């Protein structure tokens, strides 16, 4: 059982709590229409929204299990983005994976390494058996990343979420612990 906010690292990245020192990075990340067009479509419009985001995600609450890390460069501390697990169901050992990387850090292998690290934490540290990812069918980069990370396509969830005034389809992928261990 996870009791406190866990931290870990990979070869190039660290994963730790989002802090108030990140407010401008969080705002930059979530106010960018290019970043958010495949992640709910809504953008932040004020620093107050970024502060509320940080307040919500900076601690782990066992009664509301969500883990969202600040992803940083291991050597310089440069903020790259956020990622983590949502809809965590520790009783049934499953969670949904998600995240965002600042646009100026796209195509540098950061998301690939971040997913690899989060999967290792999920299967080993949180003892999950199943991790899912919901991806917009229009987001070809995320689709390729999820497939490269070993996930299996399960299907299309038709009109799964409302993004603004539109209903959006999302494709669902999953990775099981036994598949990840191979």
45 phi and psi, to 5 degrees?
-120, -5
Supply the pLDDT for residue 165: 83
Supply the pLDDT for residue 166: 85
Supply the pLDDT for residue 36: 85
Whether the Cβ atoms of residue 10 and residue 117 lie closer than 8 Å to each other? yes
Q: Give pLDDT tens digits for 55-73.
A: 999 887 777 788 999 999 9
pLDDT band at 3 (very low <50, low <70, confident <90, very high): low
Mean pLDDT of 88-92: 92
Supply the pLDDT for residue 38: 83
The secondary structure of residue 159, as a DSSP letter, is E
> What integer best gives the mean pLDDT of the chain?
93
Give all domains of the chain, ordered by start, each with its CATH number: 8-132 (3.40.630.30)
What are the distances in angstroms from CA 20 to CA 50, 53, 98? 9, 10, 21
Supply the pLDDT for residue 134: 96
Supply the pLDDT for residue 60: 79
Supply the pLDDT for residue 156: 97
Mean pLDDT of 147-157: 97
pLDDT at 164 over 90: no
pTM recorded for the entire structure = 0.93
Supply the pLDDT for residue 1: 59
């Amino acid at each position: 059982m996870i009791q406190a906010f866990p931290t870990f690292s990979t070869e190039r990245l660290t994963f730790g709590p989002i802090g108030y020192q990140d407010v401008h990075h969080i705002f930059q990340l979530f106010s960018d229409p290019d970043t958010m067009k495949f992640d709910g479509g809504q953008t932040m419009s004020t620093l107050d929204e970024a502060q509320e985001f940080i307040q919500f995600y900076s601690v782990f609450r066992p009664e509301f299990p969500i883990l969202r890390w600040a992803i940083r460069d291991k050597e310089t501390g440069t903020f790259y983005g956020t990622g983590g697990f949502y809809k965590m169901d520790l009783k049934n050992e499953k969670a949904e994976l998600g995240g965002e990387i600042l646009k100026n850090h796209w195509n540098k292998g950061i998301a690939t390494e971040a997913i690899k690290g989060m999967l290792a934490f999920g299967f080993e540290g949180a003892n999950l058996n199943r991790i899912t990812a919901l991806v917009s069918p229009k987001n070809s980069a995320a689709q390729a990343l999820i497939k490269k990370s070993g996930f299996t396509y399960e299907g299309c969830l038709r009109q799964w979420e409302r993004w603004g005034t539109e209903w959006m389809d999302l494709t669902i992928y999953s990775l099981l612990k036994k598949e990840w261990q191979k």
